[in-house]
A and B are shown apart, each in its own frame.
Chain A
Amino acid sequence: MTKSMSPRAGQRRRRRYRDVEEGGLVLRRFPFSGLSKSLIPYQGDGLVWVCAAATSVVLLLYLLLLGVIATRGLAALWVKPVAAVGLIDGRSVLGHIEGKTHDGTRWRVFRGNREVYGHDFSRIDIGAVVSVTHPEEVIVFERVEYGRAIGYLRGMMLSGSGEIVRLDLDQFALRHQRLMNEENHALKLLGTKMAKINQRLEHLRLKRLKQQGHAGAADNAVLLEEARMRQAYLELDRKHVQLLNEMRQKAAIIETIEGRRLEVPLSDILRFYQPNQMSRLDKLGFYLVRFWALLSENPRESNTEGGLFPVIFGTLLLVLLMSVFCVPFGVVAAVYLHEYAGEGWVLNTVRLAVHNLASIPGIVYGIFGLGFFVYGVGGWLDRSFFPERLPIPTFGTGGVLWAGLTMALLTLPVVIVSTEEGLRSVPRFVKEGSLALGATKLQTLRRVTLPMAMPGIMTGFILAITRAAGEVAPIMIVGVVKMAPLLPVDDSFPILHFERKFMHLGFHIYDAAFQSPNVEAALPLAYVTTTLLLLLVLTMSLAAMYFRAKLRERFTEYVF
């Protein structure tokens, strides 16, 4: 076969052979080596390109993840224009055009007015669209109930008589403002009073039950007070209903594009705006208003709308509780392991075990938390201290305290490991210098070792926070809920109610996106929550990385 080859082919073959010789025999094993060899002077660069390709895929995947979530999350609060879409059959549809459906033949339009249409979104055939206009005078109302209303303001009803007063938007805004300020305030005041009495009633009920359990009959004074409180409550309740009725009689008349009139009580209207008249700057301002509302308001409409205040509060409280339990203990354990425990195989085994515990799945900690804290300790507390409330559990059910403790256990290994890392990074001679100068071990620890290991402790602390904020599976079984009516901290005795359930950013995402009855409407909020959580967690991690880098840098000069 070699004999029948043309001279040129023979030459080429010889050249390749020589190349291989240059590179060493082993090169033949690689499929790419021949290819790249003939092209650039570096042998085996083809496989370098495979690595490069993998790197670009990895980077792009994460860019995509962050990009998709950030754009959708940030865009969710931005004011979108309202389009009036005219169809072939003469009907028109008013709403935000949210984009095309997958097959590209239809538009998804957010129409709002849930009480009229039944759902928020509808799909319209692009082929049937005749015109798209952006009417200036369209108003979007954000409401307490039924989501947003989109339509035209046709007037206002001032009393139950049904008489409609025509007024322009400025006048309407003024009246709305006044109502929100004065009457809503009165209502809130009344509500607070009622809640107080209610709590007192519950307290009295439990007291009575306790007395009945012990002595067989309740104290007369308790019964009397209970009756008086109930009377007071009924009185307030009547006032409340009256005030509410008065307020609800003042309603905005909103006309939908089909000409249907909606009566929306002024007290139900949170905000309103004319998106087609707003400039970029207006929109930016409104974006900030909405962002503030997101941080400060309560969720509405089963977590599909409204703010995230209790969610953020719950997350922060969980993180705080977790830190209180885990950081001091973690640091003490690490100091013990590094400074006081005797070296040997026992210590090595313990260290290895602690390292490994850091990578045990969170759900295992969750199961432990449920069995040990909730059913074990909580059940015991209930039986010994709150028997009058049984069978309704007080501590024997998931709560923020148990979630905090579970999370503390989960993050304890992380804190121990990174604190030890910090302690280890303190050069020996620094410590020995301190001891040689006559300082005791404690003094060395307090004045030299711990301050120098501080970045390590900070790293552990922040990593623990990151983990506690991001881990959802364990808290799902020890106390997080979709909707917590009461915050774990409020002004009623004893201020801190750690037995209460709480809400959490991570669980909120899961709930809104996968458990919600109205997923399509809940998705924008889910993206916002996801963005917030990502922002929180990534910032924290960046800080941890910064501290760790500082730790590495700081003592390099001592190391040879």
Chain B
Amino acid sequence: MVQPFSSPMFRDRLAARFFTLGGVSVLLSLVVLVGFLFWELVPLFQSPALTYLGQVQTENDAHSPLLVGADPGLGQVFTLDRRGVLRFTAFLGEETEPTVIDLAAQTPAGGAGRPVPLVHAARGDDDLLFLLWEDGTIQVYRLGFEFTQRRPAPPRYSFVSQRVLQVSAEGAFRIGDRLAVAYTAKQKLTVARLDAQGGIELQHWWLAPTSPRSPYIGGLEVEGDQEVVESVCYLLRDHDQRAVDFALDHQGRYLYVAEPNGYLSVWEVADGRSELRARTQASEGRIEQMALLAGDVSCVIVDQMGRVRIWNYITARTDADRLVAIQTTHGPRRAGLLPVAIPSGKAFLTYAQGDGLRLFNLIGPEALLHEAEVPELAQLQLGQGGTSVLGLAPDDSLHIWRLEQLEKAFQWRSLFGKVWYEGYPEPAWVWQSSSAAGSFQPKLSLVPLIWGSLKGAVYGMLFSFPLAVLCAVYVSFLMHPKWRLWIKPAVELMSAIPTVVIGFFVAMWFAPIVRDDLLGLVGVMIMFPVLIGVALLILLRSKRGVTGREFLWGMPVFFIALWGAFQMGSYLETHFFMPSFSLWLFERFELRLEQRNSLVVAFGLGLAVIPLVFTVAEDALSSVPKSLVAAATALGGSRWQTLRYIVLPRAFPGMIVAGLIGFGRVLGETMIVLIASGNTPIISTGPLSGMRSLAANMVVEISEASVDSHLYRVLILSAVMLLLVTFFVNTLAALLRSRMKRGHYEF
């Protein structure tokens, strides 16, 4: 009777299928692991996108609009003209009746039936709208698009606007004046005016909440509740040059003034006085335009030749205040270049007729993107949140682009190159992923981390490699077999010690020694070899039979060295290096002893990697054919001679392999470095300073990185780098090893 399902042959075939399928899928899962990391890396290499969405015809009045804007979803766009009419038109959103708000009616003059023209309108942080009327009335509105969302419907924005302040200036504004406004709620309003003659006048209003009401009692405070406490109006002092343009920062603290001869000066105008802080020749030609980037540190200057340069005003504690040019962009050299700062990031757009739009950030001089096909524009402004670009053509049609993925711009320079960051005196490699400050420029240079990894690995190997290899040589070749039987597995067993335990031990036991008894530690390093030499002389003279057990004699010597060195260390410290050795080091060599430093890390990494290096080296040594050793001994070679001329040359590749494997291991070691290095991403070679390694950085930062953010991708990149490097090192080691073993077959 045929029993197909229980026949052995059938089962055998089934099993073959099962194992093949299972095996291949398990191996594939490992491929998936590597593949997934690379796949996750792909979105890192993206650039900002500027998509042309279309155009809207704005209402054609006598004058072109002073201000244009759009909500973040681009549902509606608005224009504000000189008569103070705010007009909303649907763009991507549902078609509705255009909303028209007459802001002029809400001014005192407008209310009295004598409307005056609007001189200046500007947008501030948090969607503030500043309106400066000809009769000197200054109004601050909060222009908002309320975000209403109900799942699963798409988000909808609705317009709200609220007046938060109205003051009137001394004197009237004239059309043709250049004006700038800075406003901090409940604290200060500053208006700077550049008149046609080039003189600059400043006015401050200090504000206070009308009622000192706690926000916790009585619900939310109403934003408009503020009154003017004091106001002052003055001219910029000692300013003999006529100004061409100026820029005021958001706090109303610094005023950047451009002069016709190409000079740029910075004035502190915070408290009703003006004081020149720094002045420099910023351009060879006349400065035409200027713009302050988000955060008010970087000032973009465009001169008459169309050169774009970014200047930083640096207030250094040790140095005099100065202006430094951190970058000159590679843009088109065209007259009439228009820069526009993007409020959501450290970036700006430029527009030049015939060249189109270019997007720059502070990382490099090259444009992040270039949009050449751009109609002729008279004005360039940004929508709310900086997510859209609005260009107003001379025929009053509004062209709209969407700007995306600005913060995810990928640049090799930002990861590996030296970058001149905002507020830094010189270009540098810096890792600083986040900070408490609001407008922060992320600094994601991997160089300090790679440096930290390599430094830790090199220091660790310097400590462990000689020890492990010498130990392996001794155990495998010189030690008495009776002892070897126990010592070899014991050392190999140590590879099982979890690294967190080693890190804990090193931080709790070794770090205090380094901190308090550095001198003693140095003493041990000197004294131990010396004492070993002395012991050698004594023991060898006595011709005691110690062959194969020399290491037992080393132990008491080591303890004597430890004890002696620390005694000597404390003696030296109290007599020569008052008050302490670390202070002396700092004063003499500027070496700052940090609590968590490379010595501690090296010690920990060494402890972690010695068993591994030992095992591999020992394996290489014991795989040298015994026949060769026997031959050498038979020919009268001493132990050392046999070792040096027969065993070591053959096992030499094995030592290299051991070094490579050990290096690969310490490079990726995480817990010890995390615990013992202090995790400060600095570049220094000194053994007494800390560092941050790639691996430890991942643990530190990954909890801060939101999914799909640029930081998250950069961390994945560092994981991939680590993967590739260790994979390469280990492959190299494996190839070397198999070559070496093949070489031994001839015997």
Using a CB–CB distance below 8 Å, which chain A residues touch chain B? Answer: 23-24, 26-27, 30, 36, 39-40, 42-62, 65, 68-69, 102, 329-330, 332-337, 339-341, 350, 352-357, 359-368, 370-372, 375, 379, 409, 412-413, 416, 440-443, 445, 466, 469-473, 476-477, 506-507, 509-510, 513-514, 523, 526, 530, 533-534, 537-538, 540-542, 545
Contact = CB atoms under 8 A, between A and B. Distances in A.
Contact of A49 (B502, B550, B558): B550
A416 B493 CA distance: 21
Contact of A364 (B557, B668, B734): B668
A443 B508 CA distance: 56
Contact of B489 (A26, A471, A545): A545
Contacts of B552: 56
A352 B509 CA distance: 39
Contacts of A362: 668, 670
Contacts of A507: 500
Contact of B512 (A102, A366, A534, A538): A102
B577 to A, nearest CB: 15
Interface in B553-571: 553-555, 557-559
Interface of B: 8-9, 11-12, 15-16, 18-20, 22-24, 26-27, 29-30, 33, 36-37, 40, 466-468, 470-471, 473-475, 478-479, 487, 489-494, 496-505, 507-509, 512, 516, 528-529, 532, 536-537, 540-541, 543, 547, 550-555, 557-559, 607, 610, 614, 638-641, 644-645, 661, 664-665, 667-671, 674-675, 695, 698-699, 702-703, 707, 715-716, 719, 722-723, 726-727, 730-731, 734
Main secondary structure, interface of B, reads helix
B26 A47 contact: no
List 5 A-B pairs, minimum CB-CB distance, nearest first: A336-B23, A361-B668, A44-B640, A470-B498, A56-B554
Given A52-B551, A53-B554, A330-B26, A441 B16 contact: yes
Given A52-B474, A62-B491, A335-B19, A472 B726 contact: no
B496 A55 contact: no
B583 to A, nearest CB: 15
A57 B467 CA distance: 8
B550 to A, nearest CB: 3
Contacts of B490: 59, 62
B508 A513 contact: yes
A367 B698 contact: yes
A186 to B, nearest CB: 41
Nearest to A38: B540
Contacts of B727: 356, 360
Nearest to B466: A54
A526 B554 CA distance: 33
Given A360-B727, A506-B498, A523-B508, 13 more contacts: A48-B640, A53-B528, A53-B529, A55-B487, A56-B554, A58-B468, A69-B504, A353-B30, A368-B36, A371-B36, A477-B703, A507-B500, A537-B496
A55 B475 contact: yes
Contacts of A367: 37, 698, 702, 715-716, 719
Contacts of A27: 641
Contacts of A366: 698-699
B573 to A, nearest CB: 11
Contacts of A46: 536
A361 B471 contact: no
A57 B675 CA distance: 24
Contacts of B674: 473
Given A57-B554, A441-B15, A354 B30 contact: yes
Given A55-B554, A58-B468, A336-B20, A368 B33 contact: yes
Given A52-B551, A55-B554, A509-B504, A541 B19 contact: no
B639 A42 contact: yes
A499 to B, nearest CB: 18
B471 A51 contact: yes
Given A48-B640, A52-B553, A364 B722 contact: yes
A330 B487 CA distance: 31
14 contacts: A39-B540, A54-B474, A61-B607, A65-B497, A65-B505, A353-B30, A361-B723, A367-B715, A375-B707, A409-B29, A469-B498, A506-B500, A507-B500, A533-B498
B643 to A, nearest CB: 8
Contacts of A42: 547, 638-640
Given A51-B470, A371-B40, A509 B501 contact: yes
A51 B537 CA distance: 16
A363 B500 CA distance: 13
Contacts of A545: 489, 492-493
Contacts of B502: 65
Nearest to A477: B702
B498 A371 contact: no
A367 B716 CA distance: 7
Nearest to A104: B570
A371 B470 contact: no
A48 B29 CA distance: 49
Nearest to B503: A510
Contacts of A56: 551-555, 557-558
B505 A341 contact: no
Nearest to B734: A352
Contacts of A541: 493, 496
B559 to A, nearest CB: 8
Contacts of B641: 23-24, 27, 43-44
A424 B478 CA distance: 31
Nearest to B467: A54
A333 B638 contact: no
Given A52-B553, A68-B509, A364 B723 contact: yes
Given A51-B474, A51-B478, A57 B497 contact: no
A368 B37 CA distance: 6
A49 B590 CA distance: 38
Given A332-B23, A442-B11, A48 B550 contact: yes
Contacts of A371: 36-37, 40, 716
B566 to A, nearest CB: 12
Nearest to B15: A442
Contacts of A329: 22, 26, 29
A350 B731 CA distance: 12
Contacts of B614: 58
Nearest to A546: B489
Contact of A57 (B475, B499, B543, B558): B558
Given A361-B695, A364-B722, A333 B493 contact: no
A501 to B, nearest CB: 13
A394 to B, nearest CB: 16
A360 B27 contact: no
Contacts of B734: 352, 355-356
Contacts of B12: 440-443
B19 A43 contact: no
Nearest to B28: A333
B493 A538 contact: yes
A36 B532 CA distance: 13
A357 B30 contact: yes
B497 A372 contact: no
A542 B16 CA distance: 35
B498 A49 contact: no
B8 A443 contact: yes
Given A52-B478, A60-B558, A333-B26, A363 B699 contact: yes
A341 B540 contact: no
A339 B15 CA distance: 11
A45 B22 contact: no
Contact of A43 (B640, B669, B731): B640
B540 A45 contact: yes
A363 B722 contact: yes
Contacts of B40: 371
Contacts of B471: 51, 54-55, 57-58
A39 B48 CA distance: 77
B19 A52 contact: no
B410 to A, nearest CB: 18
